[in-house]
Amino acid sequence: MQLVNVTVANNRRKDGGEIYGSGIKIESEGYLICFNSIFWNPNINGDVVVSDEAYAGFDYCDIRDGYTGTGNINADPLFVSDTDFHLIPNSPCIGIGNLADAPTFDIENSPRPLPSGTNPDLGCYEMDIAVMQEFEIIAWDVYFYPNPATDYITIPTEPNEAAKIEIHDAFGRLVMQSTLHLNQNTLPVAELLAGFYFLTIDSKGKRVAGRFVKM
């Protein structure tokens, strides 16, 4: 079996108990090749467990507690949150994957790699670091709901302030501009194509941002 650009993160048992091989466990005569992937889970028993009778090769992966292989790292991948496994701009997993045999699109149908001609990111989401740097964002910790969205999203703005809104697609193209007026915090997105978007908020001289998926 081969795994490419996979993210296995925050895997927990419902009863809170420990998992032996919380990222992946290969038993018996199993055979696995894996690259460009992230295994980062909260258990103490190791993310990758391989029995003596099995074979597993991991290259260009971020594995908690580490694993022998080419290009592997053992570093916090810096996800957006415990439930949002997109990478933030200073993630060590951005741009360190192997382009050979990597899929040409990520799980959200964004092109891989971004920008073209670079090395892909680790994990299932591809982030365009060049686009994110252009925004000059001071924080990437804004959350919108519902996310994924279909008709509208709710934006956490203060009730007594107006805000300028910009939405860019995964290529960095500006696809929507709007202003949220006082006591308004919902934005219609029904006309956007399905895909992954960056949303920036300018208010009171500060610019923050977040990400959302349009279904």
- Tens digit of pLDDT for each residue in 14-43? 666 666 556 687 887 889 999 999 999 876
Please tell me whether residue 89 adopts helix, strand or coil conformation: coil
User: Among residues 36, 96, 97, 39, which one has the least CA distance to residue 65?
Assistant: 39
Least confidently predicted of 170-174, 193-197, 211-215 = 170-174
Q: Is 66 left (phi over 0), alpha (psi -120 to 50) or beta?
A: left
Which residue has 């889970």 as its token pair?
Answer: 41
Q: Distance (Å, rounded) from C-alpha 50 to C-alpha 30?
A: 9
Tell me the domain boundaries of the chain: 1-129, 135-214
Torsion of CA 84, 178, 190, 207, to 10 degrees: 0
Q: How far apart are the first and last CA of the chain?
A: 31
Residue of 14, 36, 181 lying closest to 113 (CA atoms): 36
Using CA atoms, how far apart are residues 167 and 190, in angstroms rounded to an integer? 13
Which pLDDT score, from 0 to 100, does residue 138 have? Answer: 46
Quickly name the fold that domain 135-214 has. Answer: Immunoglobulin-like (2.60.40)
Secondary structure string (H, E, C) spanning 156-205: CCCCCCCEEEEEEECCCCEEEEEEECCCCCEEECCCCCCEEEEEEEEECC
Determine the Cα angle at 161 with ends 159 and 162, to 5°. Answer: 115
Kindly report the pTM of this predicted structure: 0.64
What's the pLDDT tens digit per position in 103-147?
999 998 888 998 888 899 999 999 876 665 555 544 555 677 888
Q: Mean pLDDT across the chain, nearest whole number?
A: 82
